[in-house]
């Protein structure tokens, strides 16, 4: 197991494969836009312009691809937030909380917006012990913890509970937006958001 040259499959630490990236990009797009079970590997392969064997070399099963899809989203979010915290300086707590809120408001105007990939994916995997469920849970916990940290830094009297409330508010806004295109003309989402923090 220790990094042995398996019969097939990419070596550990080998240079990032462009084919793999193409597959992952295509899958991410399709999975988000259409759904996991609604998209077969055949379609991913076709639209990735990749050979069948190449696909299965990088992702031995479809499940592996789904996991990679969500894991990539997690990576991106964590990198983005790390960058933001580095840039914001002393103001990072408000910047962080604003970033989470903006993630909703900007996304829901976007063409092809279809809610939260973690929530949608979890809905398609009923087994709570499935890896994708673990990733989704971990990611939500991560967001909550980040917000809690920020609230602590702001001297908020109830950081843990408020972080929980903020996550719920965000969840509700995303789901509502994906279901009925909730537009929030009044900016009530933003007002509620910041009133919970202040």
Partner DNA sequence: TCTCAGGTAGACGGATCCGTCTATCTACTA
Partner DNA sequence: TAGTAGATAGACGGATCCGTCTACCTGAGA
Choosing from 11, 37, 78, 83, the residue that interacts with a second copy (CB under 8 A) is: 37
User: 17, 189, 24, 26: which is closest to 104 by C-alpha?
Assistant: 189
Choosing from 142, 153, 171, 190, the residue that interacts with a second copy (CB under 8 A) is: 171
**Which class for 39: exposed (0-12), middle (13-18), buried (19 or more C-beta within 10 A)?**
buried
**Residue 122 site contact among DNA, a second copy, none (CB < 5 to 8 Å, cut-off depends on kind):** a second copy
Choosing from 97, 167, 193, 197, the residue that interacts with a second copy (CB under 8 A) is: 167
Residue 107 sits in the site that holds a second copy (CB under 8 A): no
Choosing from 46, 76, 79, 168, the residue that interacts with a second copy (CB under 8 A) is: 168
Residue 82 sits in the site that holds a second copy (CB under 8 A): no
- Cα dist. 31→27, 45, 46, 159, 185 in Å? 6, 13, 14, 35, 30
What span, in angstroms and rounded, lies between the C-alpha atoms of 48 and 192? 42
**Closest CB to a second copy among residues 44, 167:** 167
> In the chain, count of helices (H) and strands (E)?
9, 0
What span, in angstroms and rounded, lies between the C-alpha atoms of 99 and 78? 12
Binding site for DNA (CB under 7 A): 5, 9-11, 14, 17-20, 37, 39-43, 49-54, 56-58, 60-63
**Residue 105 site contact among DNA, a second copy, none (CB < 5 to 8 Å, cut-off depends on kind):** none
**Closest CB to a second copy among residues 54, 178:** 178
- Cα dist. 178→82, 113, 160, 172, 184 in Å? 28, 7, 27, 10, 13
> Tokens in use for 58?
């990088």
State the residues that interact with a second copy by CB under 8 A: 33-35, 37-38, 114-115, 119-120, 122-126, 133, 136-137, 140-141, 161, 164-165, 167-169, 171-173, 175-176, 178-180, 186, 188, 192
């Amino acid at each position: 197991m220790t990094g042995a040259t398996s019969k097939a499959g990419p070596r550990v630490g080998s240079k990032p494969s462009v084919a793999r990236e193409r597959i992952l990009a295509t899958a991410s797009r399709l999975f988000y836009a259409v759904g996991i079970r609604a998209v077969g590997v055949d379609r991913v392969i076709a639209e990735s312009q990749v050979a069948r064997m190449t696909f299965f070399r990088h992702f031995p099963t479809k499940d592996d691809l789904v996991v990679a899809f969500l894991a990539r989203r997690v990576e991106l979010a964590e990198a983005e937030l790390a960058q933001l915290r580095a840039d914001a300086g002393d103001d990072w707590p408000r910047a962080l909380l604003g970033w989470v809120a903006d993630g909703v408001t900007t996304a829901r105007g976007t063409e092809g917006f279809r809610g939260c990939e973690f929530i949608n994916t979890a809905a398609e995997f009923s087994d709570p012990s499935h890896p994708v469920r673990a990733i989704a849970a971990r990611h939500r916990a991560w967001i909550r913890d980040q917000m809690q940290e920020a609230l602590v830094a702001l001297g908020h009297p109830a950081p843990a509970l408020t972080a929980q409330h903020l996550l719920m508010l965000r969840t509700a806004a995303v789901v509502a937006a994906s279901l009925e295109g909730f537009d929030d003309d009044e900016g009530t989402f933003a007002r509620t958001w910041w009133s919970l923090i202040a």
